[in-house]
Structure 1
Amino acid sequence: MRRVNDEKKTSYRKCQRGTMKTLMVFDFDHTVVDDNSDTWVIRCLPDQTLPDTVKNSYRKGHWTEFMGRVMNYIGDQEVGPDRIRSVMESIPFTAGMTDLLTFISENKNAVDCIVISDANTLFIDWILGAAGLLAAVDHVFTNPASFNERGRMEVRRHHDHDCRHCPVNLCKRRVLEVYLAERSEYRRVFYVGDGGNDFCPASCLRGRDAVMPRKGYALEKLLAGLDGREDKVRAQVISWSSGTEILEELKATLRS
């Protein structure tokens, strides 16, 4: 009897040999965390604002280059890496996301998890690390970042691509397609996001997969505007407000 009870308690953790895993794909800003990490970093400045010369230097589709100028300005104000890191670690998680990621970290034999984000490696590593959630994520695909010899944080493009729908530094669909092509087929893929740049990867999902747009954000509005046209998005659309709803969908898939 004890053995039967133990098997019931670990029903999510046990994955029979040959059973395909589930893949969770997350955007980061306004999805895993409840703000934009690239704008949150401004809080490390004494007056928490940027001069107009930096603000007005942004060109559409060239956010990474803009963030390079932002971080250079922050360095010029003698704000060091430790201060930047402490501010980034204070960013709030979206409701229910820590429980969701904790569940994923405890069920790695049944669930793979990746992040595809237009943020950068340092911000994501710091934020997940401070929350003890790095173990939940198998791979992070984002813009590389590091500090140079002057103590300035430099941000580089994740890759070059020819997708006319995405920013020049990152096409999330291309990242997802390459990732899936290099691995065995997943039983089901969940794509969880909020923004306009999450539509492109959603369009490569299969009918048995699910795209999960955050309620009230751009991705949900784009998907609603399709009027059921399966030539654009074949996956099931499941909107969410908190990580708790995503967790219930994931558990239902693992039970089925």
Structure 2
Amino acid sequence: MTTLVYINNSLFFCLFVCFGNCFLAAMKFLLVFDFDHTIVDENSDTWIVKCAPEKKLPNGLRNSYQPGHWTEYMGRVFAYLGDNGVKEDEMKRTMTTIPFTTGMVDLLGFIGENKDLFDCIIVSDSNTVFIDWILKAADFHKVFDEVFTNPAAFSSAGYLTVQNFHAHHCVKCPKNLCKRKVLKEFLDKQLEQGVSYAQIVYIGDGGNDLCPVMFLKKDDVAMPRQGYTLEKKISQLAQDLSPVECSVLVWSSATDIMSYLKLLIKE
């Protein structure tokens, strides 16, 4: 049965025992991050609504979302902002005020200092423009080797547009993005180049993070954010006697994640 371990200092010895076979400083590790409510402490797509008139959307637009079709919905939101004269500069100023999750600045700094040990990617249902703005404003863009998210760009008329990341056949995921498929294709590409990983650490919060977590193997680690949907879904799987194969460590601050990574690479 899956055991959800909650990280704190008193559990360091337990972590050494449970994951001792993975504490090899000479090995390389893959860190996979979600973005919204993981790297940043908000949903970037709803944060942009601060640019809308009176900082809210009309009821008809807000109620037009259909489950599994978030990207199409955001396309309508961006069109509404453009129709109301919201320009790129205003959007960028707004997005770069979004707060990072507690401890995340220190965590990303630590990863950046240890890039010889960590490959680091983002797999997110946000978009390329928002993530690029936010990471570059904080000078964290070099921490990440690749970002997989919905392509976005400004049209000649100055409207922000967004497209689905890819097509897939996974019935568990939203139409525009299956994070399991992204992770599998990334690992396959790395393997073709002779790169394999001692361990994958998947850090996320949302329901769409469960599909890639189910792909992880026994030596890998899923790190769901405490109190969010991913933690609840993993707990439910354990209760239903269909637990995930990987180990599970729950975090509440990015400092918890950094503590685990420091153990992981300690000689």
* Global fold match (TM > 0.5): yes
Query: Secondary structure in 2 aligned to 1:227?
Result: helix
Query: Secondary structure in 2 aligned to 1:40?
Result: helix
2:175 is matched with 168
2:223 is matched with 212
Amino acid in the other structure paired with 1:42:
V
CA separation in 2, counterparts of 1:217 and 1:200? 15
Match of 1:77 among 73, 84, 89: 84
2:252 is matched with 241
1:24 and 1:190 in contact (8 A); partners too: yes
Match of 2:142 among 123, 135, 138: 135
Amino acid in the other structure paired with 1:147:
F
2:184 is matched with 177
1:20 and 1:185 in contact (8 A); partners too: no
- Please state if 1:255 is matched with 2:262: no
Query: Secondary structure in 2 aligned to 1:117?
Result: strand
2:33 and 2:204 in contact (8 A); partners too: yes
Summarize the alignment of residues 221-232 of structure 1 with structure 2, pairs less than 5 Å apart. Answer: 221-227=232-238, 232=243
Summarize the alignment of residues 1-256 of structure 1 with structure 2, pairs less than 5 Å apart. Answer: 19-183=26-190, 184-227=195-238, 232-256=243-267
TM-score (norm 1): 0.91
Distance apart, 1:230 and its partner CA: 7.9
TM-score (norm 2): 0.87
1:193 and 1:219 in contact (8 A); partners too: yes
5+ long unaligned stretches in structure 2: 1-23
Amino acid in the other structure paired with 1:122:
V
How many pairs are equivalent? Answer: 240
Identity %: 50
Change (3 A) 1:231 1:239: same
CA separation in 2, counterparts of 1:70 and 1:229? 39
Query: Secondary structure in 2 aligned to 1:190?
Result: strand
1:220 and 1:239 in contact (8 A); partners too: yes
CA separation in 2, counterparts of 1:229 and 1:181? 31
Deviations 1:204-243 (Å, cap 9, x if unpaired)?
1111110000000010001111227785511100000010
CA separation in 1, counterparts of 2:126 and 2:72? 12
5+ long unaligned stretches in structure 1: 1-14
Structure 1 runs, 4 residues or longer, greater than 3 Å off: 228-232
Query: Secondary structure in 2 aligned to 1:197?
Result: helix
CA separation in 2, counterparts of 1:95 and 1:230? 33
Structure number with the bigger relative contact order (C-alpha 8 A, sep ≥ 6) is 2
Distance apart, 1:252 and its partner CA: 0.6
Change (3 A) 1:113 1:153: same
CA separation in 2, counterparts of 1:255 and 1:127? 31
Distance apart, 1:46 and its partner CA: 3.3
User: Greater helix percent: which structure?
Assistant: 2
Query: Secondary structure in 1 aligned to 2:215?
Result: coil
2:149 and 2:165 in contact (8 A); partners too: yes
2:234 and 2:243 in contact (8 A); partners too: no
Amino acid in the other structure paired with 1:73:
Y
Q: Which moved more, 1:169-178 or 1:45-54?
A: 45-54
Deviations 1:135-156 (Å, cap 9, x if unpaired)?
1111000000000011000000
**Cα RMSD, aligned residues only:** 1.5
